[in-house]
Amino acid sequence: MLLTIVVVVTAVLTLAVLLNDLVRIIYIYEGAYDLHAELGSHDGVPAKLDGDDSATQSWLWGVLLSSTAPLPVSRTLQATALALTSLNFLAGGVTIIVLCRRLWTRRPFARSAAVWLFALSALTLLTAWLAPWLRHRADASALADMDYSTSAAGGTVWVQLPHSSLLSPDGTALVLGVVLALAGVLYLGVRRLQRDSDGLV
């Protein structure tokens, strides 16, 4: 009964996430393209809020840029990043169902279960590095297609994207990928112990 509940909940959540991501992908192409950028200035950009005085000052450091231009490259890169995370979630749901099936058949430590864990780990680690990079490249392409100044040569105030690279992965996904890999190694170790104990019986 418990395994059935786990499978049903996993299937429903996975389907809900996939449908939600499908709507988000449609909006990426149909809606406005938004990106968060930093404001650059040698002297800073004062916010001039009520309450500012000689001892306390407010400054602007970020701005939301929105465009209804086609921006096909940026939108495709954003959609690809979202599709990658969706695929990762789908793989996670399938892995849970596979593990439940192994418990149903009383073969919880079958090699295929460990293979699913390792495959999910690899996909999660790939997503941790690739998805943020794709989003950053999408924003960089969109900013290049806009008419805003992106350096000091273009004016006293300019916009720039936060630093990002393949060496700046999603920390949560990275840790999850490592944990899944360790779970796969543990799974194989327990499987070997089970075979040894069966041989002694």
Would you state the pLDDT for residue 154?
Answer: 60
94-104, pLDDT tens digit by residue? Answer: 999 988 888 78
- Measured CA to CA in angstroms, residue 79 lies from 15, 105, 201 at distances of 18, 39, 55
Candidate from 140-144, 153-157, 167-171, 197-201 with smallest mean pLDDT: 197-201
Which one has a higher pLDDT value, 59 or 33?
33
Query: In 3D, which of 180, 78, 76 has the Cα closest to residue 125?
Result: 180
Q: What is the DSSP letter of 35?
A: E
154-186, pLDDT tens digit by residue? Answer: 667 888 888 777 678 888 999 999 999 998 888
Would you state the pLDDT for residue 200?
Answer: 45
Q: How far apart are CA 140 and CA 144, in angstroms?
A: 6
Torsion sign across C-alpha atoms 148, 151, 154, 159: positive
- Partner residues linked to 130 by β-bridges: none
Q: How far apart are CA 74 and CA 34, in angstroms?
A: 11
Q: How far apart are CA 139 and CA 141, in angstroms?
A: 5
pTM exceeding 0.95: no
Q: Please provide the average confidence, as pLDDT, over all residues in the chain.
A: 87
Would you state the pLDDT for residue 193?
Answer: 65
Whether 139 and 33 have beta carbons less than 8 Å apart is answered as no
Q: Where are the alpha helices (H) located in the chain, listed in sequence order?
A: 2-30, 72-104, 111-145, 171-200
What confidence category does residue 85 fall into, taking pLDDT thresholds of 50, 70 and 90?
Answer: very high
What is the average pLDDT across 50-70? Answer: 90
Would you state the pLDDT for residue 194?
Answer: 62
